[in-house]
Structure 1
Amino acid sequence: MPELNPEHLQAVISAINNGPFFKLMSMTVEELGDGYSVVAIEIGKKHMNPFGGLHGGVYSSALDTAAYWSAYCDLPDGNGLISIDLKVDFLAPVSPDHKIIVTGNRIKAGKTIFLAEAKMCNQAGKVLAHGTSKLMVTHDKQTIHDVIEYVGSSKLPAKFLKS
């Protein structure tokens, strides 16, 4: 694979983090690289279910996000991904006022289907949830250029450095 352009990755992170859903969730992509991503969420009362525990949708959204972005760097320019499956194992409760870290890892990058996983941990490293996701490769649909247009960011630097 060609070498990724660090300026492109930083611009992508900035654009993603300016999306309305990310702001609503208090979620940020902190790292993005070849086959991995790191996502953080500052857990607050707004993330809790009526019983005072972290809502299952927050677990799922965080795992889906980290899995998705771990696969991004393998995509040729002009292609996108759509989640077609998400399996979540809820392993431990989360209380408010904690930061959780979700690491995504690409397992397999195919021509039409990607497989990725994500692990949610607290700051002490305790695993809170694990998920796997299958993602379908799209052509000219749900691409990074759609993200840039939607959030109103400036044009992206090239994804890959010229060799």
Structure 2
Amino acid sequence: MTLQNVDLEKARQQMTGLQQLQAMAAGAVPAPSIASTLDFTLKEISYGKAVFEGKPSSKHLNPIGSIHGGYAATLLDSALGCSVHTMMEPGENYTTVDLNIKYLRAMKPGMGIVTATSEVVHKGRKIATADAKLIGEDGKIYATGNTTCAVF
């Protein structure tokens, strides 16, 4: 079953989180609109892992001329949430309880592609946690993040 031309809520009750995200990565369903707003895409998805790529540009600037911290936070949050999402059983859901971001260096327009990679650390019946890194084409870490999610 794919999510294409199917009631999304019904499909969510019948598909695992990994199946849902695989359908999105394959283009069977559109990506969430935040991805086009911030120019990032889901590049890799597997059980307990998600990889996103983004291209920060001048439209993502803050008042001091670097890429707004919200760009890194949103990219990391997306990777973190999707890595947890891959471990959901049909009908199981989650929500973010907390999101922690550590900014290690400034991003600049024209720096090229950044990659956010997240892996689940723990998934239990009620709580899931994940860690992520945001790495530039230069191999440097620009930010790290972790999340705790409530599973229901």
**After TM superposition, is the score higher than 0.5?**
yes
Residue 48 of structure 1 and its aligned partner are, at CA, apart by 1.2
Q: Deviations over 1:52-81 (max 9, x none)?
A: 111111111111111111112211111222
Query: Given that residues 16 and 29 in structure 1 are in contact (C-alpha distance below 8 angstroms), is that contact kept between their aligned partners in structure 2?
Result: no
Amino acid at match of 1:82: T
Structure 2 spans left out of the alignment, 5+ residues: 1-15
Residue 8 of structure 1 and its aligned partner are, at CA, apart by 5.4
The answer to whether residue 34 in structure 2 is matched with residue 29 in structure 1 is no
The answer to whether residue 114 in structure 2 is matched with residue 100 in structure 1 is yes
The answer to whether residue 147 in structure 2 is matched with residue 133 in structure 1 is yes
1:2-151 pair list within 5 angstroms = 9-13=21-25, 14=27, 18-97=31-110, 98-138=112-152
Q: Deviations over 1:117-141 (max 9, x none)?
A: 1100001211000011001113xxx
Query: Given that residues 39 and 102 in structure 1 are in contact (C-alpha distance below 8 angstroms), is that contact kept between their aligned partners in structure 2?
Result: yes
For 2:21 and 2:93, how far apart are their aligned partners in 1?
A: 15
Query: Given that residues 24 and 31 in structure 2 are in contact (C-alpha distance below 8 angstroms), is that contact kept between their aligned partners in structure 1?
Result: no
May I ask how many residue pairs the two structures share in their alignment?
Answer: 135
Query: Given that residues 67 and 107 in structure 2 are in contact (C-alpha distance below 8 angstroms), is that contact kept between their aligned partners in structure 1?
Result: yes
Identity over aligned residues, as a percent? 27
For 2:93 and 2:44, how far apart are their aligned partners in 1?
A: 19
Residue 17 of structure 1 and its aligned partner are, at CA, apart by 5.5
**Moved segments of 4+, more than 4 Å:** 6-9
Q: Indicate how the Cα distance of structure 1 residues 15 and 85 shifts in structure 2: closer, same or farther if over 3 A, else same.
A: farther
Query: What TM-score, normalized to structure 2?
Result: 0.81
For 1:16 and 1:53, how far apart are their aligned partners in 2?
A: 33
Query: Given that residues 17 and 27 in structure 1 are in contact (C-alpha distance below 8 angstroms), is that contact kept between their aligned partners in structure 2?
Result: no
